[in-house]
Structure 1
Amino acid sequence: MLGTGVLGSQIIFQTAYAGKDVVAYDINDEILAKLPARWEQLKPFYLRDLPDATPESLDAAVSRIRATSDLAEAVAEADIVIEAVPERLDIKRDTWQKVSAVAPENTIFATNSSTLLPSDIVSAVDRPSKFLALHFANEIWRNNTGEVMAQEHTDPAVFEEVARFAEEIGMVAIRVKKEQPGYVLNSLLVPLLDAAATLWVRGVADIDVIDMTWRKATGAPLGPFQIFDVVGMTTPYNLNKDSSDPVKREFAERLKTDYIDQGRLGVATGRGFYEYGD
């Protein structure tokens, strides 16, 4: 697993919980040193949401995780490499070029990119037939979808192998029939989040009012800003900071100044648009 942020760490833990050995890679040991605390944060959610989770099964999951900042070591014996690095095309391409240079020939490559198409990235890999997208939703242990999306060079057998892998780690495999920015989930979700951000930036309504309106009128369990807190502030910031839309750029600036710079990164840090307890 490349990347140990909010979603990357969830993918790591869920895959290990499903019984597979996982190597967690990130760019330095300082980042990796935070992982044990992340596992302790995730355990109560598994105990709350999954009837079969026990302290023993969660400890066993942790025992199947190994962390390293050495990329060659991380992928040396990998059957599949899943990438969840920051949502920037240059970073993703650079990452996959480096992985291609050290990964075994049989290794399958999968990007978890939320907005970029696999065809945007495939030129950076040395095995186009084994490259595709595998996208997860946040809170992966209960929002358990795995969207599988190929690009034109993906071997159909690899596509099915990745779909089976998704099912093996407890996901409902969503076979996306053609490339679509945002897959199925984010094609539905992103317009909602963009509309909420616009309402806030333009001063139409306050955050709590926007969320309450959506919950009351639709019966949804979370409002859009609560969803932002689950996703974390970094992803929407990166997606909006260079936008040609001035409203989206202002939204990113507010995220940076009022939230990211203040350590309010969302549910993962206990503070975002809202405050969260234990």
Structure 2
Amino acid sequence: MKGVSMTNINMVTVAGGGVLGSQIAYQSAFKGKKVTVYDINDEAVAAAEERVRNLRDLYKRDINATDEQFDAGLNNLSYSSDLAEAVKDADLVIEAIPEKPSIKHDFYRSLAKAAPEKTIFASNSSTYVPSTFAEDTGRPDKFLNMHFANQIWRMNTAEIMGTKQTDPKVFDLIVDYAKEIGMVPIVLKKEQPGYVLNTLLIPLLNAAAYLWGHDIADPQTVDKTWMIGTGAPMGPFAIFDVVGLRTALNITKEQQGDNPDYKPFMEKIQKMMDEGRNGKDSGQGFYTYPDPAFDRPDFLKA
């Protein structure tokens, strides 16, 4: 499905083919961009391809995409485990690699050497402001953050945050690019860890983590309470599943460190992951998929 062209950004590389990276890549391809998905090895690339293929039924169900439209998006995608090859023609690289500073620092230093001078870099980091990595990029004027919400085809926001060094023209170009791929741009006027969405969301998830970690309430009780009380379509533990338990654990470790209030939660999450329960993407987390209990009509009944 070709998007409305407002920019000259046509060749896009998405670095990281995980849950959100694969969605960013496909949504961009679905809207007519030529997209290369880069990941660190052939196994990771194959996993990204499978994640993309698994989006078909969701696009058909949620936004009434036809098989023909979905296939057209697939035809705009290619995959690579060679960074230099993946970015050689890129107008834009969107980074969606793990939320660990050491990994991101190393990645941007490598990317700076591999990418053409013209290439804009955008990080999808949910927790780190762009100034954290700006100097690593070798082009701080062409670097900013563009953060997407999970289930990008439905939760269609792109939060855009620059640094004092970001060229305003580059910032405006990325705002337009977000519109091109079907997003509602959420423009931040200054750097804020967590942007708008996670500044609102993380306190909710932390509270849920505390309640479960300390055996005050089980996950379904917490989710029911939130859903009944606010009318939300899902509760915090369903959100953990969608985000992926590894991401939830990494973010909690980074933000809470040795805080004893969150140690029980992190231990429980690790145990779930050791059992292969990694969230929605693996078919099981706090709920079992594709038919999670919170989606059933009787979930909110007495």
TM range (shorter): over 0.9
Matched residues in 2 for 1:277 and 1:254: separation?
23
Residues 74-128 of structure 1, C-alpha deviation per residue, up to 9 Å, x if partnerless?
1100000000110011111110000000100010000000011101111211001
Q: Any runs of at least 4 consecutive aligned residues in structure 1 with deviations exceeding 3 A, and if so which?
A: none
Q: Secondary structure at the match of 2:146?
A: strand
Q: Which residue of 1 aligns with 2:170?
A: 158
Query: Which range moved further: 136-145 or 32-41?
Result: 32-41
Q: Which residue of 2 aligns with 1:66?
A: 78
Matched residues in 1 for 2:35 and 2:264: separation?
39
Q: Which residue of 2 aligns with 1:213?
A: 225
Select 1:245's aligned residue among 226, 246, 259. 259
Q: What is the number of equivalent residue pairs in this alignment?
A: 276
Query: Quick check: 1:241–1:253 contact (8 Å CA) kept in 2?
Result: no
Select 1:181's aligned residue among 186, 193, 199. 193
Query: Quick check: 1:13–1:61 contact (8 Å CA) kept in 2?
Result: yes
Q: Secondary structure at the match of 2:187?
A: strand
Q: Secondary structure at the match of 2:268?
A: helix
**Identity percentage over the alignment?**
52
Q: Which residue of 2 aligns with 1:273?
A: 286
Query: Quick check: 1:109–1:131 contact (8 Å CA) kept in 2?
Result: yes
Summarize the Cα distance change of 1:214–1:192 in structure 2 as closer, same or farther, 3 Å threshold.
Answer: same
Deviation at 1:236, TM superposition (A): 1.2
Q: Secondary structure at the match of 1:246?
A: coil
Deviation at 1:150, TM superposition (A): 0.3
Q: TM-score, normalised by structure 1?
A: 0.97
> Aligned partner of 1:193: which letter?
L
Q: Secondary structure at the match of 1:241?
A: helix
Matched residues in 2 for 1:139 and 1:247: separation?
30
Select 2:268's aligned residue among 254, 267, 275. 254
Matched residues in 1 for 2:232 and 2:193: separation?
24
The question of 1:86 aligning with 2:98 is answered yes
> Aligned partner of 1:8: which letter?
G
Query: Quick check: 2:18–2:48 contact (8 Å CA) kept in 1?
Result: no
Structure 2 residue runs of 5 or longer lacking an equivalent are: 1-13, 292-302
Q: Secondary structure at the match of 2:144?
A: strand
Q: Which residue of 2 aligns with 1:35?
A: 48
Alignment of structure 1 residues 34-53 onto 2, 5 Å: 34-51=47-64, 53=65
Q: Secondary structure at the match of 2:222?
A: helix
Deviation at 1:196, TM superposition (A): 0.3
Q: TM-score, normalised by structure 2?
A: 0.89
Q: CA RMSD of the aligned region, Å?
A: 1.1
Q: Which residue of 2 aligns with 1:236?
A: 248
